[in-house]
Amino acid sequence: MLAMRAQRALSEELLREVHGEFEAGLQAFFARHQERYAYGEWVESLYLDVSEYVARKGKRIRPMLLLGAHGLFAGDGDYAAAPAMRAAIGLELLHTFILIHDDVIDRSERRRGLPTFHKHVEARLGSRAGRERVGQSIALVVGDVVFALAIECVANAGCPEDRRGAVLSQFLALTTETGCGEIQEIALGLRDISRVSANEIRHMYTLKTTRYTVEGPLVLGAMLAGASQEAVQAIRQFAEPVGLAFQISNDLQEFRHFEVSDPMFQSDLLEGKKTLLVREAFERLNECDRSFLQLCLDSPSLGEPSIHKVGELIRKSGAEAVLEEEMRRLFDEARMALDTPALTPEQREGLLFLKDHVRSQASL
């Protein structure tokens, strides 16, 4: 199978194949480690819960970027080599840990069409008093254990000795940066929109989205494949505008979903988060509309009429067109970052293909 794939250029068909191998690898991973968690009833069933939670249909954006980049830089064009596969599983486990904790923080009820982890644990407790807090507590500790498992996966990926330290450091840096981005998001959420600059939001996006979802996975894949430092640097310069553009695209999509008022859709807007779209709209509105927007963002729960008015104001401000223009500019910038002798033409093509692949997914 490996030989057949040698030198094959990246294509949707190839990515589907690699995706299939990734899902199989993920299942095998959980089956292999099961006996380590034979610590009694609860731990055992929580382990099965985690394996089912991870197996829920996800887009696997991060592992696919890692595996794609690895294949582009490994000389043999092997898109599913064992060390890369293990690191990709580690990345998905990291994502799992972050989702479990985020859902506790946001008290979310649904994730990937099913109950969130803490709600799932809570349901197990029947009608017992205090079950809500017990569910949250267990979910927190489970998240911590999954984080440790993720690191173990990367540390034991079996990649060549000369790059082992750098790969693990990159993985840990990605984790701390994502955490700092989450803290910045909470901090910006506490401030009035007039006191949050567009650059602060961009910086928060860089930490929270670019490093975590685009740069980290691509760089890890390339590093594992032994890419040169110059190539890794080029990937970072490519990933920076791509990540920002993805987050802006996500904001715009969320806004449009919210516009058609899909009841299943959790909107950042409804949570009063400071997105670039809201900031841009605020910038362009007159004083009266600004005050209204400020008031709405500051209210913990908006009523339907206010929500509609906020949507109307954002549309009227012309902020959407401004951000679409910014997105185009960012994608151009990304394309230019690839124009370096550190990359082969196939690698440039491949990275652009991966970017379009992610862009074609509904949301991050």
| Region near a second copy per CB under 8 A, out of 23-31, 67-75, 172-180, 310-318 | 172-180
State which residue, 40 or 345, has the beta carbon closest to a second copy: 40
Nearer to a second copy, 272 or 311 (CB): 272
**Quick count: other Cβ atoms within 10 Å of Cβ 340?**
14
Query: What does the H/E/C string look like for 211-256?
Result: HHHHHHHHHHHHHHCCCCHHHHHHHHHHHHHHHHHHHHHHHHHHHH
Least Cα distance to 63 among 114, 116, 25 occurs for 25
Tell me the window of 200-208, 230-238, 243-251, 345-353 that interacts with a second copy (CB under 8 A): 200-208
Query: Which stretch in 167-175, 253-261, 263-271, 280-288 sits in contact with a second copy by CB under 8 A?
Result: 167-175
* Nearest approach, Cβ of residue 90 and a second copy (Å): 12
Q: Does 197 bind a second copy (CB under 8 A)?
A: no
Q: Which is nearer to a second copy, 155 or 352 (CB)?
A: 155
The helix (run of H) or strand (run of E) holding residue 114 is strand 114-115
Residue of the chain from 67, 142, 227, 314 that contacts a second copy (CB under 8 A): 142
Rule CB under 8 A: is residue 41 a binding residue for a second copy?
Answer: yes
Q: Which of 1, 4, 113, 130 binds a second copy (CB under 8 A)?
A: 130
Q: How far is the CB of 120 from a second copy (least distance, A)?
A: 14
Indicate the residue among 145 and 322 with the shorter CB distance to a second copy: 145
82 binds a second copy (CB under 8 A): no
| Burial category of 215 from C-beta neighbours within 10 Å (exposed 0-12, middle 13-18, buried 19 and up) | buried
Distance (Å, whole) CA 89 – CA 139: 20
Does 161 sit near a second copy (CB under 8 A)? Answer: yes
- The answer to whether 29 and 89 have CB atoms below 8 angstroms apart is yes
Determine, following the binding rule CB under 8 A, whether residue 166 of this chain makes contact with a second copy: no
* Minimum CB–partner distance for residue 132 and a second copy (Å): 13
Q: In whole angstroms, what is the distance from residue 300 CA to residue 292 CA?
A: 14
Closest CA to 221 of 362, 354, 338, 59: 354
For every residue of 250-314, DSSP letters joined together read HHHHHHHHHHTT-TT---TTTTT---HHHHHHHHHS-HHHHHHHHHHHHSSS--HHHHHHHHHHH
Residue 115 forms beta bridges with which residues? 110
| AA identity, residue 105 | I
* Least distance from a second copy to the Cβ atom of residue 98, Å: 8
* Structure tokens given for 214: 């685009």
Instruction: Find the part of the chain contacting a second copy (CB under 8 A) among 42-50, 223-231, 275-283, 305-313.
Output: 42-50
User: Does position 114 bind a second copy by CB under 8 A?
Assistant: no
Which residues 6+ apart lie within 8 Å of 110 measured at CB? 116, 119, 264
Rounded Cα–Cα distance for residues 170 and 165 (Å): 9
Interface with a second copy, residue 125, by CB under 8 A = yes
Which listed residue (149, 223, 252, 323) binds a second copy by CB under 8 A? 149
Cβ proximity to a second copy: between 37 and 292 the closer is 37
Interface region with a second copy, contact rule CB under 8 A, candidates 99-107, 221-229, 281-289, 307-315: 99-107
Q: Which of residues 206-245 bind a second copy (CB under 8 A)?
A: 207
Minimum distance between the CB of residue 147 and a second copy, rounded to whole angstroms? 7
- Asked if residue 279 lies in contact with residue 350, where contact means CB atoms within 8 angstroms, the answer is no
Residue 272 in contact with a second copy, rule: CB under 8 A: no
Q: CB under 8 Å to 22, separation ≥6 — which residues? A: 60, 63, 64, 67, 80, 85, 88, 89
Contact call for residue 294 and a second copy (CB under 8 A): no
Q: Point out which residues bind a second copy (CB under 8 A).
A: 37, 39-43, 46, 101, 104-105, 125, 128-130, 134, 136-138, 140-142, 144-145, 147-149, 151-152, 155-156, 161, 165, 168-169, 172, 175-176, 179-180, 182-184, 186-187, 190, 200, 203, 207, 300
